[in-house]
Amino acid sequence: MKRSEKETSRGPRRPKRRAILPRILSFVGVLLIWGFIAAAGVVGYYALKMPPIDQINVPKRPPNIAILSDSGTLIANRGDMGGATVRLAELPPYLPRAFIAIEDRRFYQHWGVDPLGVLRALMRNLSSGGTVQGGSTLTQQLAKNLFLTQERTFARKIQEVILALWLEHKYTKDQLLELYLNRVYFGSGAYGVEAAAQKYFGHPARMITLPEAAMLAGLMKAPTKLAPTHNPAGARERAAQVIAAMREEEFITGPMADLALLHPAQVQRSKGAGSYNYAADYVMDLLDETVGIVDQDILVTTTINLALQNAAERALTEELDRKGARYGVGQGALVALAPDGGIKVLIGGRNYAESQFDRAVAAHRQPGSAFKPFVYLAALEAGLTPDSVREDAPINIKGWQPENYTHAYQGPVTLTRALSQSLNTVAARLGNEVGVKTVIHVARRLGIDSELQANASLALGTSEVTPLEITSAYVPFANGGIGVQPHIILKVVTAKNKLLYQRKGRSNGRVIGEAVLAEMNWMMEETLVSGTAHGAGVAGWQSAGKTGTSQDWRDAWFIGYTSHLITGVWLGNDDNSPTHKASGGTLPVAIWSRFMKVAHQNVPPQPLPGGTWQAPAQATQMMPPMAGDTGYEAPREIGAPPPVAEAVPGELKARDQYDERARTGEAQPHAVPIPQAAAHSASHSSWAEENDLNGLLPPAAIPEGPRNRPQAVPPAPRPNRKERNLFESLFGG
């Protein structure tokens, strides 16, 4: 009875056990249904928070500005992305495949989200003990970069999935891959594969090698952390993982992988001080007024010559590294211009990485004696000549008593000697004779735009100017007397080669009379022969220039030129503190000479336009050596006028009266009207507007005007100069 009861009791239980599995399956099915409903609800909830899907557009890629040298070589990229857009067809095939291998192997099979890829990445990461492969598809990464922030939240992940599905629906796979490669971040400020290739390897993305492609693809894991400029070991290790993944996917062969691992990518280190960035920044400052708002990729061709830029950078930085501490000089700037005003070199500081402030363009500093050529030009236009004599002696102009650098005086000297030796008292006398307003007018005419204080000390360069500004004002001395507009932008085109801007040759017309120009070049050439820049110059070239040192040794200048190039060098300290007696004739001359010798290599020598001035023999006599002189015999006017045929009637009389009154101290500012024929401006020159050639007017094409000075002649040996002894060769005289 008990047995039958047991059998009876066991019998009904077997069907109950068999019913458990269907119940479990039923429960799981219901759970999945509700899970799907819940997931759909969550997706729908976050989808409602997004804009309507038909109103979503891929954000326009910020434009890139590619800045090119005068030869078309890339100088720098500017813009938010740091590089231009590239087409997928332009890239080597292994470059996009590297990204697919390490980031999304099933890119061409899934529809935006890849559950199998997530599981595979999870298993791979668990087996390797670290994060080797990501779970997000390339489409999801693109959606994040295009539309979302970098925050790691559940809501952002849901929105990422929704947007990835939408992208897959709207674009082809190749379009998505091209978008991805042009938008993702590669570290070090580089967005897009083109910017990354230029940043890390120094060449376009179309020239990327297999090891370089692997390194770039490897950066997607952690762009900032793995940037090869900061973490080369980490970048190489990650690149090796990319090579292995490409080999596993059969994107490359075994020998190709072995070769890539044997020769990993080499990152291009930044060479030098990066001075080209000063030029690129200056281009960006001018671009808005040149072409307006930039809303597409453009290419800007400039006047910058990269070979000259690099040579100037080496000259400046290496001389400062060697001697800067000794002279107490912390900063410098160098500008070089072609005779048409094109900026060939622009260096705004010692090291761009340390300071982006462009001293060449924006720093206003006292030019010191480098301003004196404008004073002497005003005096020559008033009727004086290089052989006119003025007294180097103490002077008092309404309480202002300038002194020479040496605190010594030479007595009567010619203007040539006074300028070459940078005698302050003579410059002050001349400024007082012609009047400060006349000096300002001359400086403005040649290109000085900064505010100039109308006081007597202006003659010694106490009003501040920028290096670019004053160097540009020296250009007319080198190009035949033509005023120029300094410029750096030559042409602007779109990525599709549509012309947006083309510079046309422009000048300011004649600003220096031809005869006066020859006289000025004669005097400033003497500065390099026996004056404060003694020893400077370029072998085989007629060179001229002027040194400058401001009050308390705060600024040191040298601006010199040939018919080929005009170069200005400034040295000083950003806090305007005094240097350790750095003068224009020391470091600036050394830097200028070193650079100009390189800049003139393999260039056929040409004389300065306008010829060389020669003193009329009957208008001078030889004076005996002055006390304290070293035997230099200075020609001195004795009052005999040149032949009447060489001057306009009445003008020589005015000149003689002017010289005589100056000697007796009776000359007053504006005693003699400044001839206006020498100041022929662009506004009065229709020839300048219609016929100039690349910004230069041939001097012969512009009439000299009613005033006929003694005519310039072709370059010849400098007259009235006896052979100098060793002492004179070393110290001038």
Q: What is the DSSP string of 88-139?
A: GGGS-THHHHHHHHHH-TTTTTSSS--HHHHHHHHHHHHHHTS--S-SS-HH
* Alpha carbons 242 and 216: distance in angstroms, whole number: 10
Residue 183 is predicted with a pLDDT of 92
Q: Contact, 537 vs 297, CB < 8 A?
A: no
Band (69; pLDDT cuts 50, 70, 90): very high
Strand-pair category, 411-414 with 389-392: antiparallel
Band (708; pLDDT cuts 50, 70, 90): very low
Among residues 69, 136, 275, 369, the one annotated as catalytic is: 369
Residue 529, H or E segment: helix 514-529
Q: Contact, 528 vs 537, CB < 8 A?
A: yes
Residue with the larger pLDDT of the pair 497 and 271: 497
Interval 288-321: pLDDT, tens = 899 988 889 999 999 999 999 999 999 999 999 9
Residue 271 is predicted with a pLDDT of 59
Strand-pair category, 635-637 with 620-622: antiparallel
Q: Contact, 302 vs 279, CB < 8 A?
A: yes
Q: Which domains does the chain have, with CATH numbers?
A: 81-262 (1.10.3810.10), 343-731 (3.40.710.10)
Q: How far is CA 117 from CA 263, 379, 464, 621, in A?
A: 31, 84, 67, 99
What does the angle CA 719 – CA 373 – CA 421 come to, to the nearest 5 degrees? 60
Interval 585-627: pLDDT, tens = 999 999 999 999 999 999 999 999 987 777 775 443 333 333 3
Evaluate if residue 194 carries a pLDDT over 80.
yes
* Alpha carbons 480 and 377: distance in angstroms, whole number: 14
Average pLDDT on 196-222 reads 95
* Alpha carbons 245 and 251: distance in angstroms, whole number: 9
Evaluate if residue 646 carries a pLDDT over 60.
no
Band (42; pLDDT cuts 50, 70, 90): low
Asked about 689 being catalytic, the answer comes back as no
Residue 308 is predicted with a pLDDT of 98
Average pLDDT on 249-278 reads 90
Residue 393 is predicted with a pLDDT of 96
* Alpha carbons 404 and 408: distance in angstroms, whole number: 7
Q: Which of 54-58, 225-229, 347-351, 642-646 has the lowest mean pLDDT?
A: 642-646
Band (491; pLDDT cuts 50, 70, 90): very high
Residue 43 is predicted with a pLDDT of 64
542: left (phi over 0), alpha (psi -120 to 50) or beta: beta
Average pLDDT on 215-238 reads 93
What does the angle CA 562 – CA 349 – CA 355 come to, to the nearest 5 degrees? 165
Evaluate if residue 535 carries a pLDDT over 60.
yes
CB neighbour list of residue 627: distance below 8 Å, 6 or more residues apart? 411
State the CB neighbour count (10 A cutoff) for residue 455.
14
Residue 223 is predicted with a pLDDT of 92
Asked about 666 being catalytic, the answer comes back as no
The pair of three-digit structure tokens given for residue 605, joined into one six-digit string: 């020598």
* Whole-angstrom Cα Rg for the chain: 38
Average pLDDT on 681-703 reads 32
Average pLDDT on 449-453 reads 96
Using alpha carbons, select from 686, 688, 303, 283 the residue that is nearest to residue 505: 688
Residue with the larger pLDDT of the pair 242 and 155: 242
Using alpha carbons, select from 592, 542, 551 the residue that is nearest to residue 570: 592
Band (82; pLDDT cuts 50, 70, 90): confident
* Alpha carbons 701 and 132: distance in angstroms, whole number: 74
Q: Which of 14-18, 197-201, 337-341, 659-663 has the lowest mean pLDDT?
A: 659-663
Alpha helices in 292-387 (DSSP H): 306-327, 359-362, 372-381
Residue 53 is predicted with a pLDDT of 61
- 171 alpha carbon, distance to own chain's centre: 41
How many helices, marked H, and strands, marked E, lie in the chain? Answer: 26, 14
Share of the chain above pLDDT 90, in %: 62
Q: Contact, 180 vs 189, CB < 8 A?
A: no
Average pLDDT on 192-214 reads 94
Q: How far is CA 479 from CA 448, 622, 696, 698, 714, in A?
A: 17, 33, 8, 9, 15
Interval 658-676: pLDDT, tens = 344 434 443 333 333 334 4
The pair of three-digit structure tokens given for residue 630, joined into one six-digit string: 């070293």
Average pLDDT on 165-193 reads 92
Average pLDDT on 423-438 reads 97
Share of the chain above pLDDT 70, in %: 75
Average pLDDT on 58-63 reads 84
- Give strand pairing partners of 66: 77, 299
The sheet carrying 74-78 orders its strands as 74-78, 65-68, 298-302, 489-494, 499-502
The pair of three-digit structure tokens given for residue 261, joined into one six-digit string: 């691992």
3-class secondary-structure state, position 450? coil
Average pLDDT on 359-365 reads 97
Average pLDDT on 487-515 reads 93
State the CB neighbour count (10 A cutoff) for residue 189.
14
Among residues 69, 103, 469, 525, the one annotated as catalytic is: 103
Evaluate if residue 59 carries a pLDDT over 60.
yes
3-class secondary-structure state, position 345? strand
Residue 272 is predicted with a pLDDT of 60
Residue 46 is predicted with a pLDDT of 65
